[in-house]
Structure 1
């Protein structure tokens, strides 16, 4: 049994709701259940072959409930991306006033990476689906642009100039992307994502200031 299947079973047990029961208006954890059900089906049947009806049925919910949470089956894979923008902004806003823009964003990225580390198996399963489909990769780029824009806005709210804010956001998200790719592609990797982000920022400083070239 896959980790996502186990997670979904545990979640529905905790909420004391039968897995295949069609719910009424009160549907605990509906968004999470739909996300996990979609991951299971995409892994079993493939993204293109899976329908919204099948996702809803696997989650023990109705199609109507699905569309209350997501506009289509693609968007299920990007649940939480808008929340990530808000989380980054909150951490950036709390950074000490003397923090440099890049340092503030680095701290924020480390903070939002911790929940991803805790759900590594689900993140890896999602990434596998996204990587296999061009339309999902394009949607990922759109979400990334929103993340950059939100980071720029948060930095400007701290008094950082537009160009410095944009540069800091683009560089920091680039570092995050490099660290994330290493994390999802590292079989047997024991380091956690926040640590790998910090390590990649250190490599950036080495390249920019010390003139060194990171190994690998």
Structure 2
């Protein structure tokens, strides 16, 4: 049984974030991260596939988590209400998991074209998963696809606002605010 030192993953993440902020994401190597964290490259590979994974680890679980939350929402809810319920529930879960490094991570992603593209790819997978879940709940395919894209827009907007001011309101509150803002904008047309 391997004996891994407790806290190694956190040390690696802390080292990577500090280096990314100091030198820019593109200018940092895995070797620099491991040296700063005081571990070997092999140890790094036990926790992360590459340096991008330091920022996106666990994000592959988001599509399934949101789709599952849509499917488990009260059957009496409309497709949009089920979507919003899922966004609120999963948003708080994600926020709790990433709260410690959310602002740093977002600043790093925003500064890199490569990382922004990775984020877009991640959210395309979220949209596909939401689309499928909404169709499973009975939404017509064109409507499900549109709502899935709207859900991604609400999630990204609300999560970004939560990252900017994490102590001002829960992420679920930000989800509801973003949905309300969208509804008000649509009422004005």
User: TM-score category by the smaller chain?
Assistant: 0.7 to 0.9
| Count of matched residue positions in the alignment of Structure 1 and Structure 2 | 187
Structure 2 match to 1:65: 43
Relative contact order: is structure 1 or structure 2 higher (C-alpha 8 Å, sep ≥ 6)?
2
Aligned: 1:92 with 2:67: no
Name the structure with the higher helix share. 2
- RMSD across aligned positions (CA): 2.5
Structure 2 match to 1:40: 18
Structure 1 match to 2:159: 180
Compared with structure 1, are the counterparts of its residues 116 and 124 closer, same or farther at alpha carbon in structure 2 (3 Å cutoff)? Answer: farther
TM-score normalised by length of structure 2: 0.84
Structure 1 match to 2:126: 147
Alignment map for 1:1-216 (pairs within 5 Å):
25-27=2-4, 28=6, 31-118=9-96, 119-186=98-165, 190-208=168-186, 210-211=187-188
Compared with structure 1, are the counterparts of its residues 99 and 31 closer, same or farther at alpha carbon in structure 2 (3 Å cutoff)? Answer: farther
Compared with structure 1, are the counterparts of its residues 111 and 49 closer, same or farther at alpha carbon in structure 2 (3 Å cutoff)? Answer: same
Alpha-carbon contact 1:116-1:123 (below 8 Å) kept: no
Look up the SS of the partner of 1:74 in the other structure: helix
TM-score normalised by length of structure 1: 0.75
Compared with structure 1, are the counterparts of its residues 109 and 157 closer, same or farther at alpha carbon in structure 2 (3 Å cutoff)? Answer: same
Q: CA deviation at 1:123?
A: 0.7
Single out whichever of 145-154 and 59-68 deviates more from structure 2: 59-68
CA distance in 1, matches of 2:7, 2:83: 30
